[in-house]
Amino acid sequence: MEKEYDCFISHASEDKDDFVRELAKCLKDSGLKVWYDEFTIRAGNSLRKEIDKGLSSSIAGIVIFSHNFFEKEWTQNELNALVARKNATKKDLIIPIWHNIEYNDILKVSPLFADMYALDSKEGVSVITKKILSIIAELKNDEDSSISILDKNNAKRQYMETIVTPWSEMIDINNWNSWAYGLLSSGQP
C-alpha cells in the first residue's frame, strides 16, 4: 500500500524558526511529500485526526530531538506512535535529528534514543536533506520489495490454484501409489 507522505516531521513549535521550518521547506522542495503541520493542517481541522493521519500514512518519521521536544506531551505522543509503528513493522522508520542537544542530555531523558545513530542540526539543512532523501529512498525500496514479495506469493498461489491443484486432482495423485504399485514392483525399469 502506497503511503500518502514520505515523511512526518515531529518537533516542538519552539524549534520552528531556527531549524524545522527551513528543513521542511528544503525536503518539500527536494520532491518529498512532507507532512508538516504548517503545510498540512488548515483552520477548522481536528489536530488529533490530522496528526494521526500523518503518522499512519508516512513512510518515515523525522523526530527533531531538542530540550523543547522533551518538555512537550504532544511530541511524546507522536514519538510513541512512531515507536509503535517501528515495532509493528520491524523497520527503522524513525529518523532522529538532534537539535541544540547533546548525547548526555538525551541519555538522561531517553536512553533508548541515545543509542540510535542520529543526524545533528549542526550539519546544516542541505546536508541533512541529502541524508534524509537517501534514507527515504532506501525505505521506499524496502516497501517496494515487500510488495513484490507479496505479488510473487499471490502469483504462486494463483498458479497452484489454477494449474497444479486441478492437474493433481485429474491424475488422481492421492492414489498414485496404489495404481503404480504393479509397474514398480515387477522389476521393470
Instruction: Compute CA distances 69 → 72, 142, 143, whole Å.
Output: 6, 29, 29
Q: Cβ–Cβ contacts within 10 Å for residue 95, how many? A: 24
Helix (H) or strand (E) holding 33: none
Active-site residues: which are they? 78
Residue holding cell 531517553? 110
Q: How many C-alpha atoms does 23 have within 13 Å on its Cβ side? A: 34
Say what angle helices 73-89 and 47-56 make with each other, to 10 degrees: 30
Beta strands in the chain (DSSP E): 5-10, 34-35, 58-65, 94-98, 119-120
